[in-house]
Structure 1
Amino acid sequence: MFSSPAFLPPERQGALDLPGIFGRVLLAFAGYYVMARVGLAYAIVGGAISPVWPPAGVAVALVWWLGPWVLPGIFLGSWLANMQGAPGPVYSLGIAVAATAGAWVAARLVRRWAAGYDLLQSLPGLVRFGAGAALVATMVAASMGALTMAWSGLLPWSRLGSGWLTWWLGDAMGVIVMSPALLAWRLPIHWAWTRARVIELGALLCGLLLAAMMVFLWGAPQLAGDAPLAFVVYPFVIWAGLRFGAHGAAVATFLLVAISLWGTTQGLGPFGRFSSPQAFWLMQIYITCLATTAHVLAALSAQRRAAEEKLREQAMLLDKATDAIVVRGPDDRVAYWNKSAERLFGFTAAEMIGRDETPLLYKDAAPFHEAKAAVLRDGEWAGELKTRTKTGDERIIFSRCTRLPGAPGAARSVLAINTDITDRKRLESHFLRSQRMESIGTMAGGIAHDLNNVLAPIFMGLPIVRESVTDPEALATIRAMELSAGRGAEVIKQVLLFARGVEGQRAPLHAGRLLRDVEHMIRETFPKSIRIERAWSADLWTLVGDATQLHQVLLNLCVNARDAMPGGGELKLHAANVTLDTNYSSLNPEARSGPHVRIDVVDTGEGIPLDKLERIFEPFFTTKDVGRGTGLGLATSQAIVRNHGGFIHVYSEPGKGSTFRIHLPAQPGASTDEEIARAPLPRGQGQLLLVVDDEEAIRTTLARTLERHGYRAITAKDGAEAVGIYAEQKAEIAAVITDMMMPVMDGPATIIALQRMNPHVKIIGASGHDANGKVAKAAGAGVRHFMPKPYTAETLLKTLREVLGEE
């Protein structure tokens, strides 16, 4: 029975340890025997019943602490202690059995009733411990002991009831006083041994001892009848329980029991004037109330500390949360403000606790008040709100609000969990804008194809007309027509370039031409209130890069400059050749020594505040109002410039404008547009060419241009007709010029059919744009030469010379 694992404490379960068991039995024997001799010295009934029986508390603590193996030691200690002066051995054995049974029952009941509770540091555990060990188990021992004394003749049967009551109260007092005193020292001390705490403990002990001696010893002869004086010690007991927990309550109770017991046995104190056993019954009731008060307060204090620790842990978890968590009172004053709220809004908890958040966080408070009304009405609400930070930055949050429980009819507080979705909303806006641009690009591609087909005959026909005209005015008109057609082609190219994001390969690029294209675009599209100034020399060095991407960089900077001057101003485009030396590159980690083209985009706008200047290249960071910018323009521009081996710096001052300076690696030896001399157009040697296009004007003009420059031409209106013609004259046809987008049979299908008939056929592709990947399909079939519409006669003839010159 005693070896049942369920009975043993968890830390004591396992294999038997005989030396350890013997040591525990010996300890229990010695402890019980000594305490029993002390208790018997104060016996008031039959020489065996004491008003306070400390061995009962020692036995319960030892069985609970060391396990059931200490019961033999308790039995031996009780038997030997009661043998002296006993009427016979049966009496001593009966008392020993009663003491052992009481301890065993107490441990069993407490382990069953208080399972899962802390005995001394929780009120439920303390109540279960008192009920099981101090009340029920002591009744078992008192019943067995009182019957043994009556049977042995030490207690008259007529006084069996009063003897039983005194025994039971004495055992209960022993359990209440001694068990907590022993078990408390297994608990960790919750306070630190600071100087202030030691001084406080000394003051408590001195005050307690002085009050106890004054009540139970010194003042007894004059104040014996003034029982209310006993309550002088209560403040010190309360002090001990609240400030020093179970340890303080145990020590205070032990000292008061010892002093009050000594004074009462000597006829002193408020209970000394009563006859025995009445005096000891009153003292027992008094000590029981005193000890109960001390231990209950200690348990409540421990529960409060545990609750506070749990709250601190929960607060730490809330502070670790990425969401801003706020609790608002009924008057909108902040009651809780976690660390994430500090990071999101910029206000510290000290700044916000007790303040109304509405004027601080909401520029337009109407949506907030609507949300508040909804959560108070329905219990919860979730939605988006526009807020602002301490620095004035606008943020968009997704707020989940819940009405907290409260007394019926009382105003309720609200818990708000706020997630910053500003970047996500900007990304969504950018994504939707990208989708719109993709749709626009698809539509623009179709329009561009038609417009290029319209411009192609003009480009090829005007040189023919110019050759037959000698009148200077007519030649000037033709030149104006050529310029207008070229301008139209550039507009179409820019539409495709920026609407669809078409990218080309890196190639030598003339910086002046790049700047002229950007200047032309912004002059045509920017408000007239913005004056545009250009300054660069004609001998700008050549860049190696992607024209599309560099156009995007310059256009981004110019658009930002325009937005910084809503009321108008001056926009400057400056460029110059510079050579960076090693000293400059050592001071600028992004720079590399060597020749560069420096491009400045200068505006006279609002400027950029210093606290935002360091963040302007961060993705999604923007100084523009919500809805006016994605925050990706400058980040993309910086990435493109760095990808080209260059770097970009910004110089700005609020109220005086901004300067964005770009350095791009250059090639000084390359020729510029102005240095390229116009060479004579190459001519054919009578080769026969097959022209395939669904536009009759293009077929006719292209054939005439070829014939005027030494070629013969045969035309087809679609791919099917072209395949038929080539099948009949493939031996004579030197090359095929075919459009990519045609009805019946498009360009890629025509190319594949021609290559099946002649794997070595020479083909030149032509298209207004890469619609549906047709150019890519043709390239995959082995076609290496393409001419973007509209193309000039010069482009056509040079491409033909290259194709026909290949082996």
Structure 2
Amino acid sequence: MINITKDFDIWTRDISASTILHSLPDAVFITDPQMRIFYFNLAAEKITGFKSREAIGMYCKDVLKSGICETECVVKQALDTDKNIFNIETTIVNATGQTIPALVSASLIKDMTGKIFGYLYSFRDISFLKKIMSDLEISRADLTERNIELDRILEELKLTHIQLLQAQKMEAVGQLAGGIAHDFNNILTAIIGFGTLLKMEEKDDLSRSYISHILTSAERAANLTRALLTFSRKQIISPKLVNLNEIIRRLEKLLSRLIGEDIELSVILTDRDITVMADSSQIDQVLMNLATNAQDAMPEGGSLTIKTECVQLDYEFIKRHGFNKPGHYALLSVEDTGTGMDEKTREKIFEPFFTTKEVGKGTGLGLAMVYGIVKQHDGYINVYSEPDRGTIFKIYLPLIKSTIEEEKEAILPMIERGTETVLLAEDNAQVRELIREILTGFGYTVLEAKDGEEAIQVFYENREKIQLLILDVIMPKRNGKEVYDEIKMVRPDIEAIFMSGYDANIIYKKNIVEERFNFIPKPILPDELLRKVRKVLDKRVTK
């Protein structure tokens, strides 16, 4: 059986209070009522840098040099009012001049009569704790900064995702539009071609009038297919160095008549060089479509402002707007004071066949064409609009530093007859029949083939007679380029004209445009075909 009371008596007899205080990890010292130190433990020596024999007899403030000693000791004031002090944070300056953060606690020491005998102080070095807290604060600040950066990255990813979905949607619609346009072009080639031949033969005025209506409607349909190809960025364009200001000046009067007298047109052009690589007819189309769109948005009249300026797009701007390349751009702004658009409408305005007009009042292809033309010119387009606040279209086209050469107006040659033999390879029977009728009507001999392999066979049977190849780009068995390459090996002097209703992307892949081959797009107009055939054959004779 353990006798706790006896053990405690032995312990208190052998171990003094001083021994206990010296073993504490906290600094402990005791002062008299005048704040002179008369006890100083080992931990106090370590923290303050004073030895016990040095500190004893010194005033507390001279040893600690603490912030709480700067005026009359607040610890003493609190203790004198019978309030013990616990964990006041302060600093002390040790004997070597080092500042040490510390927590101080203190209590009164009274004798048996209740008279104040002195003060007991306890100090704890919290340097390590402070360092941990500082590190935690830095980590917290760093974490906060990282969270802000993460939020920014997430927002950018969200924006990029939206832009990617929009781009994929537009690309998918564009591919669909390109495929539809090819089939339509074959049909329209037959309608326009045979209609033109019929009109040439018809003598009755009423019948000729009916045929003219048919041709007009077919041409409108051809314009729709061109619009679809333009939207999908697959219409073949002829870019040249042009001055954007000159295009606007040339078109200004036409635009003014287009929008009507109740809309005021203002043109503000930069005086700086604003040369871009563009197909001027396509830029004309952009301006006319935007002007028409503005007119529809201002039924009661208003103002339309067309403005040009040179801008530099930095990386931040490019990233924020989903563009690709920073650099110097020509900025074309078209601003109206019309009804404006809400966000839902803005998101769809460049989609083909989307329109806010009444049924029968629009095709919904005007702004889709604008979008396609701008993209095909390596440019960007943004729209800014709010309901009842008007609309601003901003188009960015890459600036080019170069000199523009003046173009001479082309004069169309008279359509001449011919006697040469032409090999025609076309898989569409109606188109093949049309071209045969057009060419034979002007004196040419036409040998036909319905696919690539048959074309090569017909050539070998008539290799010395044939002076010209007219080849569809995409045909069964062998495409037009493959047919041409094989025939060229046998007859290096042979010339060819390629034709297609497919989009430019397929034509580029077949290396037609790049190699500067003769090309004629569908739907084919009889006059255009006859001039092209005569030009190529005459060039061959010249060679």
TM-score range, shorter chain: 0.5 to 0.7
Matched with 2:415 is 681
Count of aligned residue pairs for this structure pair: 445
**1:201 corresponds to 2:49:** no
**1:318 corresponds to 2:143:** yes
CA RMSD in angstroms comes to 5.9
SS of residue paired to 1:764: strand
Matched with 1:700 is 433
**1:184 corresponds to 2:47:** yes
Structure 1 position 489, deviation (Å): 1.1
Distance 1:535 1:746 in 2: 51
What are the within-5 Å matches in structure 2 for residues 151-162 of structure 1?
none
Q: Say if 2:508 and 2:514, in contact at 8 Å, map to a contact too.
A: no
Matched with 1:794 is 527
Matched with 1:715 is 448
Q: Select 1:746's aligned residue among 479, 490, 505.
A: 479
1:157-203 deviation per Cα after TM superposition (whole angstroms, max 9, x unaligned): xxx9799637x43444456523222211369xxxxx9xxx9885144
**1:480 corresponds to 2:199:** no
What amino acid is the match of 1:322?
N
Matched with 1:604 is 338
Higher relative contact order (CA 8 A, sep 6+): 2
1:575-625 deviation per Cα after TM superposition (whole angstroms, max 9, x unaligned): 79xxx9xxxx8xx777xxxxx998845241249xxxxxxxxxxxxxxx825
SS of residue paired to 1:738: strand
Structure 1 position 785, deviation (Å): 1.0
What amino acid is the match of 2:339?
G
Distance 1:234 1:708 in 2: 125
Change (3 A) 1:475 1:780: closer
Structure 1 position 648, deviation (Å): 10
What are the within-5 Å matches in structure 2 for residues 321-720 of structure 1?
321-323=146-148, 421-499=154-232, 501-502=234-235, 504-507=237-240, 545-546=278-279, 550=283, 554=287, 600-606=334-340, 624-625=343-344, 628=347, 655=388, 657-658=390-391, 670=407, 679-684=413-418, 686-720=419-453
What amino acid is the match of 1:201?
C
Q: Select 1:736's aligned residue among 469, 473, 478.
A: 469
1:205-241 deviation per Cα after TM superposition (whole angstroms, max 9, x unaligned): 4874x99xxxxxxxxxxxxxxxxxxx759747x3785
What amino acid is the match of 1:624?
E
Q: Say if 2:382 and 2:395, in contact at 8 Å, map to a contact too.
A: yes
Residue identity (%): 22
Distance 2:143 2:534 in 1: 75
Moved more, 776-785 or 491-500: 776-785
Change (3 A) 1:727 1:249: closer
Matched with 1:755 is 488
Q: Say if 2:178 and 2:234, in contact at 8 Å, map to a contact too.
A: no
Change (3 A) 1:661 1:420: closer
Matched with 2:315 is none
Distance 1:249 1:439 in 2: 68
SS of residue paired to 1:779: coil
Structure 1 position 766, deviation (Å): 0.8
Distance 1:437 1:497 in 2: 12
**1:165 corresponds to 2:17:** no
Q: Tell me which protein shows more strand as a share of its residues.
A: 2
SS of residue paired to 2:41: helix
Distance 1:739 1:549 in 2: 26
SS of residue paired to 2:476: coil
* Unmatched tracts of structure 1, length 5 or more: 1-159, 188-192, 212-230, 261-268, 274-282, 324-339, 341-416, 524-529, 591-595, 608-622
**1:764 corresponds to 2:494:** no
What are the within-5 Å matches in structure 2 for residues 104-123 of structure 1?
none
Structure 1 position 792, deviation (Å): 1.2
Structure 1 position 789, deviation (Å): 0.7
Q: Say if 1:737 and 1:766, in contact at 8 Å, map to a contact too.
A: yes
Distance 1:680 1:447 in 2: 34
1:126-165 deviation per Cα after TM superposition (whole angstroms, max 9, x unaligned): xxxxxxxxxxxxxxxxxxxxxxxxxxxxxxxxxx979963
SS of residue paired to 1:743: coil
Moved more, 779-788 or 554-563: 554-563
Distance 2:92 2:471 in 1: 97
Distance 1:770 1:477 in 2: 32
Q: Say if 2:471 and 2:499, in contact at 8 Å, map to a contact too.
A: yes
Q: Say if 1:575 and 1:600, in contact at 8 Å, map to a contact too.
A: yes
Q: Select 2:111's aligned residue among 262, 266, 270.
A: 270
Larger radius of gyration: 1
Q: Say if 2:186 and 2:523, in contact at 8 Å, map to a contact too.
A: yes
Matched with 1:280 is none
Q: Say if 1:504 and 1:547, in contact at 8 Å, map to a contact too.
A: no
Moved more, 787-796 or 797-806: 797-806
Change (3 A) 1:419 1:448: same
TM-score, normalized by length of structure 2? 0.61
Matched with 1:16 is none
Change (3 A) 1:496 1:570: farther
SS of residue paired to 2:220: helix
